[in-house]
Amino acid sequence: MKHLGFFIGLFSLTALFIASCRKDIATRSGHPLQGSEWLVPGKNAPKWQTKNIDGIGPAQVLEIADPAITPELINSSVVLVYANLGGYPASIRQPGKIELTRLLVSYMRGNNPRTDVWSGMPVPGKMLILLTNPDNEYDPYGNAAGHEFRYFFVPKYDPNAAGKKPADGSSNLLAKYTETDLRNMSYEQFIEAAGLKK
């Protein structure tokens, strides 16, 4: 009997460990929504790299490995990438402000105006967070500590389906929202609609 209790306890701990490592938000929140927690470069995400991206050119890139990102997931989802750009000083960007990318941040570098463009781009097996600007320079703010990112893949919907359920017929808390609705929501509104924790 002691052995049975040991194995039940071991199984429970193993299941808990596996569940805590998943990025599949759907399992924990009870609906088909995949995504990430908040990702911080150099902490729970890789460090920034400077790369040439096809169709974009030079960029500062945060490359987040995620094997759940398949071509099928990309094609069947509305992809939402949020940024909290806390690496900018308060004189440039309001602290704690969370917005959907593609996101432009304009400021002066010496006597020259500059606009940093932040975007997210899913590719099979990874999510890319990109920073570009006309000068291809990323200091001092692109590499600054304080930036964090979070992304979601929300199943697309068939507008002709009864009750506006997802095209795959599954139940979803976000089923009543179109892609335009989702993109017009604030981060807080999206999290509330999705039944997730901030």
Closest alpha carbon to 87 in 79, 95, 75: 95
User: Three-state SS for 62?
Assistant: strand
Q: For 137-187, how does the pLDDT look when each residue is reduced to its tens digit (9 = 90+)? A: 898 898 899 999 999 999 887 665 545 555 555 556 777 788 999 999 999
Q: For 4-24, how does the pLDDT look when each residue is reduced to its tens digit (9 = 90+)? A: 444 444 434 333 333 333 344
Predicted TM-score of the model (pTM): 0.80
CA distances from 59 to 7, 17, 129, 130, 147 (A): 51, 36, 10, 6, 16
The order of strands in the sheet holding 103-109 is: 49-53, 57-65, 126-132, 112-123, 103-109
